Chain A
Amino acid sequence: MSADKNTLDAVDLKSLSLPPSLPVAEVRVEDYTDSSGEPALRILVVLEEDADVENLKGDSVRALKSAIHDSLRNHGVSAFPYIFLAKPSELADVDGEG
């Protein structure tokens, strides 16, 4: 299910202050119900294909996710955001068990 405008505004790439060390191409969001039955958000952060995920720093990951949490909070969105990261090539690879 698609998220409301307030939520979409909160995760707009133009308004998010993201760390340069983790280049982001796109942020997608949808309404979600988590395993405990709580209303939540499922957010997919699509990284640039050349993002160096082998040498990710925890500080960068935290900065990226905190920016999303903070923006949602500032927009009055209280649902917990479950944030997933992926490269375009990983999203395209849907065949087989792997």
Chain B
Amino acid sequence: MYEDLLTQAASLAQLDPKKPKQANLRRAVSSAYYAVFHYLVHEACCVQIGTQHNQAAYRHVLGRAFSHTVMNQACRSFGGGTLKDAAIKGLPRNPAGNYVIPNEIQDIAKTFVELQEKRHLADYDLTERFRRSDVLALIQQVQSDVEQFATLAPSDDRRFFLACLWAWKELTTR
């Protein structure tokens, strides 16, 4: 799903290069957002269910439980580089006392937050004018962040981030 949505975004952004239609740029932004959304949901479901082909139905059902708002809140915190003490109580810290978030996680988290806002503008705010340069950059940014995240070796930090995408609200309000 992720690859197809990003390909769709790129195709739309490349139409009419001299005078791109706002409708195409807006749909490209929306597709790019859903590309990163579905990528993260898929990765999180793989951690919970498993990666085998015959487990796909379980992943797809679980994927329906993810909330755009909760994912945004989690990504806003992870992208900011620091998490509230209440959320990371008991987790390993560096000598300075900080829970270190890998750059691969920070980058894709920031991109998620940025894209969710731009998708909102693209779908609902007709006063916003989208520029092709920005849309092309977003698409490359998503592709690069996903490729970088995919190189992140399995680790507790990676699993924790992916779990926080669905558990963040409960984790931060207790």
Contact = CB atoms under 8 A, between A and B. Distances in A.
A75 interface: no
A86 B144 contact: no
A58 B140 contact: yes
Interface string A52-70: 0110111101100110010
Contact of A66 (B17, B107, B133, B138): B107
Interface stretch (B18-26, B151-159, B165-173): B18-26
Nearest to B129: A94
Which of A47, A83, A94, A98 has the most chain B CB within a 10 Å cutoff? A98
Interface residues of B, number: 34
Which of B76, B117, B145 has the most chain A CB within a 10 Å cutoff? B117
B114 A83 contact: yes
A98 B23 CA distance: 9
B136 interface: yes
B117 to A, nearest CB: 5
Contacts of A54: 17, 136
A7 to B, nearest CB: 16
Contact of B133 (A38, A69, A90): A90
Nearest to B138: A61
B22 to A, nearest CB: 5
Contacts of A85: 131, 133-134, 137
A79 B118 CA distance: 16
A78 B137 contact: no
A34 to B, nearest CB: 5
A97 B72 contact: no
A78 B144 contact: no
Contacts of B114: 65, 82-83
B80 interface: yes
A54 B18 CA distance: 12
Contacts of B143: 58
Given A35-B117, A56-B140, A62-B145, A51 B133 contact: yes
B113 interface: yes
6 contacts: A35-B117, A36-B72, A62-B141, A62-B145, A69-B110, A80-B113
Interface of A: 34-36, 38, 40, 47, 51, 53-54, 56-59, 61-62, 65-66, 69, 73, 78, 80, 82-87, 90-91, 94, 97-98
